[in-house]
Each structure stands twice: as C-alpha cells, then as structure tokens.
Amino acid sequence: MNISMFYEKKDKYKTIRDLTYHISNVSVDLKNKNETKQDIDIATFTYNDAKYIRREMQVNNEDLYFMYLYLNIYSENKEELEYNLNKIEGLLQSNGIQTRRANFRQEQLFLTCTPLMKNDLEIKNASKRNILTSSLVATYPFISSSIFDEDGILFGNNIYNNSLIFIDRYNRDKYKNGNMCIFGESGAGKSFATKLQILRYRLLGIEQYVIDPEREYEKICKNLKGTILKIGPSSGTYINIFDIREESIEENKGYLANKIQKLIGFFKLIFGNIDEEEKAIIEEKLIETYKEKGITFNDNSLYKKETNKFKIKPEFKSSREMPILEDFYNVLGKDEKTKIFQIKLTPFVKGSLKFFNNYTNVEINNPLIIADVYELGEENLKYGMYIFTELFWDKIKKDRNKKKAIYLDEIWRLIGVTSNKEVASFIYKIFKTIRKYGGAASAITQDISDLFSLENGIYGKSILNNSCIKLFFSLEEENINLLSKYTNISEKEKVDIKSLRKGESLMFIDKDHLLVKITCSENEKELI
C-alpha cells in the first residue's frame, strides 16, 4: 500500500468572510425554526463548527487547509486485492473514517501516489476535508520525533523510522533532571538496557553505584574493572550503619540530627510499626549511644582534637571511633522499656545477621561500584539495600562537579509495603535533590503493584513524577492498568506496551513518547 497526502492552504481573508456570511445565514434559519428537527440539528452543528473555525483563525492565528488522503493498494492477484481492500475499509470505518473507492478514477488516484505531486481535480472534490493548522500537525503518521543530544549516549533505535536515539541525561538546559524509571516484566530486557547504560557511561568516566539484589551485574562489573561490595554471611566486607561521614551533612541540619533521622528509618525496618512514643524512646537511646563515643549534636564533636600548632583543619573521626550495633544493643538492655527492641536486635548482634555488627572495613574509590546483597536472602535484602543506598548517597554528595549515577534495582523493596515512610522519604529525597549534586538516579522494578503499595502509592508516584526519562518494557495488562493511573499513557500506548517484544520499550522523555528498540554491538553484548 502507498499513501499520499496533500495539503492545500486556503486564503485566510476569504475564508473568514465566507464563514461570517455562513454564520449569519444559519443564524437566521435557526431563528425561523420552520425546518424539521433533523434539519435544525444539522444547522446547529454546522453553525457551531463555523464559529469555532472562525474563532481559531482570528484569535489563535490558525490557518485553514484542505486535506486530501489517498490510499493506493496493490496485489499480485484480484482475490487478494479484494480481500485487502475490504480489510482496510473495515479498519478505517471502525475508527470513524469514511472511505470511498475511486471507481473509474483509478488512473488519477494512481498518479497521486507517485512522486509527480499531481492532485487531479476530478478526485479532489470527492476527497477534500477541512483542517486547521494544529490538527494538521497531528496527521503526519510516519514522522516520529527523535532525540539526538550531542553529548548523549546511544539508547537505541526509533522503531518507527529507525533513527538513532542519543540522550544526555546530564543536560541541565534541556532536562529538569536526569532521573530514570525502568519498568518491565521478567525477561523483557530492562536489566540488559541498564547494563548497557552502565557500560557506556563507564567509557565516559561517570561515577556509577549499583544496588544489585539479584546478582545480575557481577560479570559486567568484573569486565569493566569495577569494585564489588558484598554483604552477607560469607562476605568479608562490612559496612557500619552507625557511621557518620564527613560528606553526609545535609542543608540546615547537623551531622547527628541527620544521621538519627536515617537510623530511625532503618530500625523501623527491623522493629516494624512503632508509635510516636516508641520512636521518641529509640531516638533517645540513639543519642545516648553516640554520647558514649563522645559524639553530640555539636558538629565539632565529630572532629579529632588538633594535635599541632599550625591550626590545620582537624581530621574527621574514623569508623573505628563510631558506635556499632552492639553498642546500641547494650544501651537498649539498660532500660526495661526497650528490652523488647533489644530482643529484636539480637540476630543482628549475636545471631545469623551478626555481620551487620562490624566496623566498616572497605575504602571505595572506584568509579564503578556494585553492591551485592544477594546473600542476605529474601527477608533481609531491604536492610542491605538501605545501608548501601545511604553509603552511595554520601559518596554522591562529596563532589558536585563530578557526574555520577545511582541505580536502585528492585526499588519496590525500599518504597513498597514492606518498607516504611522514613525509608521511602529518604529514597524520594535522592530523586528530588540528586540533580544539584551532579547526579542522576535510576529506579528499576518489575513489581509495579508493590511500588505503589505504601501510603496509597504517594512515594512511587513521586519518584515517577521526578523522573524525566521513563522506559516501559513489556508488562502484563494488570500492571499496565495500574501504571495508567499515574502516567499519561494513551489507549494506543497501552496496547503497544502489551505487545512489545524483548528489548523493545515505550520511552517517555519529557513530552516525547517514542517506541524504542534497545541496540548494542556484539562486543558490548559479550562484555555484559
């Protein structure tokens, strides 16, 4: 099938004059009301249409065009041709589009579908439709906007026109943030697309931090000479949740106040739902724990005392000078009111999870770091994910001039129903403020229902709204319907998402919606 479209601009002055004349005549007819009800309905309809067109031309400076749309269908035999004709006529009419066969005018129609630019007068009068400028723009079916940022990385090919899509998510002039959401069912290609981004950003020297709950990023990390941090029963690396780092300071907050807020969220993951009174008691015990190490709300207490006469800036206290879980455990045991919390903390101090009760023993200076929390098991993943997220957030804030990215795989564990609003608020804050630290955050998940399960989905929705780039891979209908509540997905795009093949996605980038096929070289595929 060949399709040919013609647009013919009409004289604006003459059009407005004719419309005004028509409106006046119809207005008189409506006042007389001598016609049948059907005639009145038709007259009212044309009257309102004419007034609308005139208003758009006069107020919004639109132009009126005649549009001509021709379809030239061909086949090797008559039976197949008739079948195709009937099929296309049925499809068009089911969408409210009237069709008319060019009987005895086939030659003229054939010529309109050639590059001769010939729109024969004999078929023009039977096919013309009027259209305004704003509607005319929407009638280009084969032109799809493509993104080509000069300093961007390749994301894939536009499925409609095969053009390359390059995105520079760090372009502050073009995008309000570089955050990204990647949703898709298992095996749809979301992890592969994420690894491609990691590989290509690694070549640009961008710092990257990945939370890996399913041990999916180990191979690419080794091939790119990154660092893998593991936390679990058999790992020899430890991260102390009580560490206060020099770069962890937040605006208008002291070190200890900021740290206690994060610790409250972490311990609510362990203790479950606690009321305001219990929360206040836990905060009191946390303050006491730090006080035993000489750390108070005075930020100076976190610096070692000067040991030289040159008044060089004092050194920040090391991890060895911070409390650990056991110190907090002992403080809880001193008070009958907090004995129940001490019991709940026992596995983390003396039981199967005692690897959480250690001083930090790793230095992370590699531009690519993968946090492997796979060994923690299904029930305990959220603890490790939170600890590493906090660690990476402090690293991201260290230097605002460096570009960096953080990837949170299976993010629903941190903002879903198994989490709490303190932890979810912390994750949301990362997405909201990471831009000013030169960073970009990526949320990756296949469990969309869990993503919107906490507090009626306000945190999932907030992260979605604070992400300029969204990649939707193939999803089940239930997840598509849920997603449509929080995004402006059209009915056609719902069908597109459901029918996407592996490696294909619907991309939202600001106001542009594109169907994208993720592409890579054989070398990249081997590295991944």
303 belongs to a structural domain: yes
Query: Of the candidates 203, 254, 206, 213, which has an alpha carbon nearest to the alpha carbon of residue 378?
Result: 213
Q: 48-85 in b/e burial notation, b at 16+ Cβ within 10 A?
A: eebbebbebbeeeebbbbbbbebbbeeeeeeeeeeeee
pLDDT of residue 463: 95
**Token pair belonging to 293:** 């190490």
Q: Residue 68: left (phi > 0), alpha (psi -120 to 50), or beta?
A: beta
For the chain, the farthest-separated pair of C-alpha atoms sits apart, in whole angstroms, at 106
378 belongs to a structural domain: no
pLDDT of residue 235: 87
Residue at which a domain ends, from 322, 342, 360: 360
pLDDT of residue 86: 94
> Which residue(s) pair with 2 in the sheet?
72
Helix, strand, coil shares of the chain, percent, nearest 5, are 50, 15, 35
Angle ∠(362,365,366) on CA atoms, nearest 5: 110
pLDDT of residue 143: 53
Q: How far apart are CA 129 and CA 141, in angstroms?
A: 17
Query: Of the candidates 329, 325, 351, which has an alpha carbon nearest to the alpha carbon of residue 338?
Result: 329
Q: How far apart are CA 504 and CA 516, in angstroms?
A: 6
Q: How far apart are CA 361 and CA 522, in angstroms?
A: 38
Residue at which a domain ends, from 73, 108, 137: 137
**The domain containing residue 261 runs over which residues?**
241-360
Residue 356 and residue 325 in contact, taking contact as beta carbons nearer than 8 Å = yes
pLDDT of residue 511: 82
Query: Of the candidates 128, 131, 183, which has an alpha carbon nearest to the alpha carbon of residue 476?
Result: 183
527 belongs to a structural domain: no
385 belongs to a structural domain: no
pLDDT of residue 312: 66
Query: Of the candidates 396, 392, 353, which has an alpha carbon nearest to the alpha carbon of residue 375?
Result: 353
- The pTM for the full model equals 0.74
259 belongs to a structural domain: yes
pLDDT of residue 163: 84
For the chain, what is the domain count?
Answer: 2
pLDDT of residue 97: 87
255 belongs to a structural domain: yes
Place of tokens 């003459």: 14
312 belongs to a structural domain: yes
Residue 338 and residue 282 in contact, taking contact as beta carbons nearer than 8 Å = yes
Task: Specify the CATH number for the domain of residue 341.
Answer: 1.10.8.730
pLDDT of residue 34: 60
The tens digit of pLDDT for each residue in 39-67 reads: 777 778 888 888 999 999 999 889 999 99
Do residues 11 and 132 both lie within one domain?
A: yes
pLDDT of residue 404: 96
Residue 197 and residue 459 in contact, taking contact as beta carbons nearer than 8 Å = no
pLDDT of residue 136: 86
Burial of 421 (C-beta count, 10 Å sphere; 0-12/13-18/19+): middle
pLDDT of residue 81: 94
Q: At residue 69, what are phi and psi to the nearest 5 degrees?
A: -125, 120
Mean pLDDT, each 10-residue run in order, the chain (528 residues): 91 92 84 66 83 90 92 93 94 90 91 89 88 82 69 91 90 93 94 96 95 94 94 90 89 84 94 91 96 93 72 81 96 93 95 94 90 92 94 92 95 91 94 95 92 91 94 92 89 90 93 91 94
499 Cβ contact partners less than 8 Å away, ≥ 6 residues apart: 474
Residue at which a domain ends, from 87, 110, 137: 137
pLDDT of residue 314: 82
Q: In what order do the strands lie in the sheet with 404-409?
A: 164-167, 153-158, 512-517, 504-509, 469-472, 180-183, 439-445, 404-409, 207-212, 368-372, 227-230
459 belongs to a structural domain: no
The tens digit of pLDDT for each residue in 235-262 reads: 888 999 999 998 888 766 789 999 999 9
